[in-house]
Structure 1
Amino acid sequence: MRASSDRVTTVDIPAQSYVVNFYATTDLADAYAVELPRDASNDPEVLARFIFSRSPRWAGWLMHLRDALVAVFGLKTARQLQALDAVAMKQRVGLFRIYRRKPTEILLGEDDSHLDFRLSVLCSQESAPAATRRLTVSTVVHCRNRLGRVYLFLIAPFHRRIVRASLRQAARAGWPTAA
């Protein structure tokens, strides 16, 4: 039987999120939430690192395929992104650059010639009577050109599956606890 804490739901981007109105025009905007147990960490960076270190194996295979295809078009590959700021790994969470931090949210993303995107990992407390804690991962994308729109069209379905699967896998592994 599946625990309620690994149930990933599609939600609106939270109003308090950095990404809610980040771009003047947005070509993709989505958000997924999962309930956090009471003893889970409140630190969005700790939670983001935990989530993105537990991507499903099949997502890694897709990333290798993506890299082989996008290199032909001169887009950044995962290897290139990992090499960026290699000395200062604290400036990245996995492949993603850290843009901003606040106690309840971390803003990640990347800019490239075809598109820019931002990803928010937000910890929030739901209102009473439920008073549950929720982790929401929101993504917004702004395409710069036709290549960006084609790329987004091709990867959007995979993006959605990967985010949901990564959240589910992290919940099943057991969230890091508060320090």
Structure 2
Amino acid sequence: MGCFVARGRWVCGAEHGACDPASQARRRRWDDTGGDDGARLRTGPKPGVRTMSIALHRVTDVAPPPHSRVAGAYPSTDLYDAYSIELPDEASGDPETLARFVFARSPAWIGGLTRIRDALVAGLGLKTARRLHRLGANGGERVGMFRIYERRPSEIVLGEDDKHLDFKLSVLCQPPGEAVARRRLIVSTAVHCHNRLGRAYIAVIAPFHRLILRSCLRHAARIGWPPRQPAG
């Protein structure tokens, strides 16, 4: 008997519980995706604050917060947007921790899109994601491929400068207030293009940018936000 899923748990039907290599690889792959099927295959809860409420998985378009450090970062913007998701009470409130979590655990298909993007822009002399990741691996101040520009208690500002455009990305923890009952994580992006190449690039990339950010935030909520650290 092979390995299979029953009632949301992985069942090993092999003798003495020794799965064949293909089954082991399939289990690891589905487990690591954090997707709906991956969640069904897990044998137990992973570290993190799982958000079962559909409301806590909902990503909404919002106006970029005027108090964010990316507001007014450029004299003009060719793209300026923001997306928001609720944070459960037990989740971390540290913006750098949350930023690293969101961008390090993006859905697998985003990596495929990034590789296609790199192949297309490398011939234009633009920075590739692979090159930017290497900078971080060599000790640069980065979150994934993004340079860290500024840290504040409730916000971290990331981004990059290139010959066609500059951009800044804010990951901001907004406390509850009159308009919202829960804390929210807001990711804002501001892009300033230098030339026609930049404007053409952002026109092509913008739909994917929106899809990727929304997917990353939903994915983070589904697999479980990092928990708050004990005080002291």
TM-score between both structures, scaled by the size of structure 2: 0.74
| Greater alpha carbon shift after TM alignment, 58-67 vs 77-86 | 77-86
Q: Which has the higher strand share?
A: 1
Q: Which residue matches 2:8?
A: none
Question: Where does structure 2 lack aligned partners over 5 or more consecutive residues?
Answer: 1-51
Once the two structures are TM-superposed, the CA of residue 84 in structure 1 deviates from its matched residue by 1.5
Q: Which structure has the bigger radius of gyration?
A: 2
Q: Which has the higher contact order (CA 8 A, sep 6+)?
A: 1
Equivalent position of 1:147 in the other structure: 197
Any conservation in 1 of the 2:136–2:143 contact (CA below 8 Å)?
no
CA deviation map 1:13-51 (0-9, x unaligned): 011111111111000001000000001101000000000
* Counterpart Cα distance in 1 of 2:179 and 2:187: 23
Alignment correspondent of 2:19: none
Q: Return closer, same or farther for 1:129/1:113 CA change in 2, 3 Å cut-off.
A: closer
Secondary structure at the aligned position of 1:84 is classed as: helix
Deviations 1:44-86 (A, max 9, x none): 0000000001212221111000000000100001111112243
TM-score scaled by length of structure 1: 0.95
Is 1:120 the equivalent of 2:170?
Answer: yes
Paired residue for 2:144?
94
The answer (yes or no) to whether the contact 2:136–2:144 under 8 Å persists in 1 is no
- Give the ranges of 4+ consecutive aligned residues of structure 1 lying more than 3 Å apart after TM superposition: 128-131
CA distance in 1 between partners of 2:137 and 2:179 (Å): 45
Distance, in Å, in 2 between the alignment partners of 1:64 and 1:164 is 19
In 1: Cα distance, 2:136 partner to 2:178 partner: 42
What is the aligned-residue RMSD (CA, Å)?
A: 1.4
Is 1:9 aligned to 2:60, yes or no?
A: yes
